Amino acid sequence: MSTFIDLIFMFLISFAILFLLRKWAKNIGLVDKPNERKFHKGAVPLVGGISICFTFLYFLFNNPTLLPGVNLYAASIIVLVAVGALDDKYDLNFKVRFAVQAILSVAMMYIANLQLHTIGNVFGYGNVDLGVLGYAITVIAVIGAINAFNMVDGIDGLLGGLSIVTFGGLGLMLLHDGQHNLAYLCLVLIVIILPYILLNLGAFGRKRKVFMGDAGSMVIGFTVIWFLLVASQNGTKPPLRPVTALWLIAVPLIDMAAIMIRRIRRGCSPFKPDREHLHHIFQRLGLNSNQTLIAICSISLLCAAFGIYGEIINIPEYVMFYLFIASFILYTILLSNIWRITAKLRELKLGEKK
């Protein structure tokens, strides 16, 4: 009963902080305005991430023993929120963001002793221990996870929905392993994110709408990789194999990687914004925002469920890894031919109407 009351309390705190920050954000100009890539109406406060950060910090302050390396984690997300808020307001160069993320990943390794030591038997020839390479790969993993969640934040509710899928799947695996503290933290994060999703989707009117902002997407991405490292690199028999972590964040990760490859092949910067993400594709196929949100979250849920299923029945790691790579290749091929595919589908639709 006390746990249930605590969760309701965190939900209400998250809601209250969101409402307080909305007015503050408008006063200082921390808002998102429509442009050639953003079609929302009016100036929307970019406070979702700040609210999630403050609320979760409040919870951790009162429950400091639940998360390994809690002091460094708390300091890290404060830095990320500050940098993200500055980026939201002044549009910082991506190199500045990457530098901060890299520094935090180094601190994570040397202070909290969190890094990728092994990627498991992903090739089918035995366990792959990373050794010294683990340091560099951890930095890449941290930056990759943060920016995967940053880049996927393109329509209302999507970042929140994908985050809930990831934290929900991870929480189930941790609970299955008997790690109740970390599983409970995943549940707390889901409860804290829910008020943001409600306001973001306009449940209380368009005037009360809020966006996550880069501050939020970076905090969520960093929290995801922190939890995944704790879960997949924890002792001789961790609750989560590294390959399962890929399936829990499959949609943001695959979408980011495929988009960046496509941009590089066209001779563009991999960090140049465009309108070729998965949510843009679904909308070009004729789905509205809510239908696109349901479709992408459903795909993410299926990927996470498959990863968990493979973990529980012990499907070989290399089988899970090669299936993940096959999914990535298929998505990349579809993305490269998306204009032909969408044109063909429109022709078919027109043919049916006739």
Residue count (the chain)? 354
Backbone angles phi, psi at 316, to 5 degrees: -50, 140
Check residue 11 and give its pLDDT.
95
What pTM value is reported for the model?
0.90
- Decide: helix, strand or coil at residue 98: helix
Averaged over 11-38, what is the pLDDT? 83
Structure tokens at 29: 């100009």
pLDDT digits 0-9 by tens, 100-133: 999 999 999 999 888 888 888 899 888 888 888 9
Q: Do 251 and 152 contact (CB within 8 A), yes or no?
A: yes
DSSP states along 223-278 = HHHHHHHHHHSSSSS-SS-HHHHHHHTHHHHHHHHHHHHHHHHTTS-TT---S-SH
Q: Which ranges constitute the DSSP H helices of the chain?
A: 2-28, 48-62, 70-90, 94-110, 133-151, 158-176, 180-200, 213-232, 242-248, 250-265, 278-284, 289-312, 317-336, 338-353
Q: Do 256 and 304 contact (CB within 8 A), yes or no?
A: no
Above pLDDT 70, what percent of the chain?
92
Q: Would strands 118-120 and 31-32 be described as parallel, antiparallel, or unpaired?
A: unpaired
Contacting residues for 212 by C-beta, under 8 A, at least 6 apart: 46, 48, 49, 153, 159, 160, 196, 200, 220
Cα 71 to Cα 307: distance, rounded to the nearest angstrom? 31
Q: Do 57 and 75 contact (CB within 8 A), yes or no?
A: no
Q: Would strands 44-45 and 118-120 be described as parallel, antiparallel, or unpaired?
A: unpaired
Cα 162 to Cα 301: distance, rounded to the nearest angstrom? 8
In the predicted model, is pLDDT for residue 297 greater than 80?
A: yes
Cα 256 to Cα 299: distance, rounded to the nearest angstrom? 15
Structure tokens at 184: 């409970």
In the predicted model, is pLDDT for residue 1 greater than 60?
A: no
pLDDT digits 0-9 by tens, 46-89: 899 999 999 999 999 999 989 988 999 999 999 999 999 999 88
Check residue 349 and give its pLDDT.
64
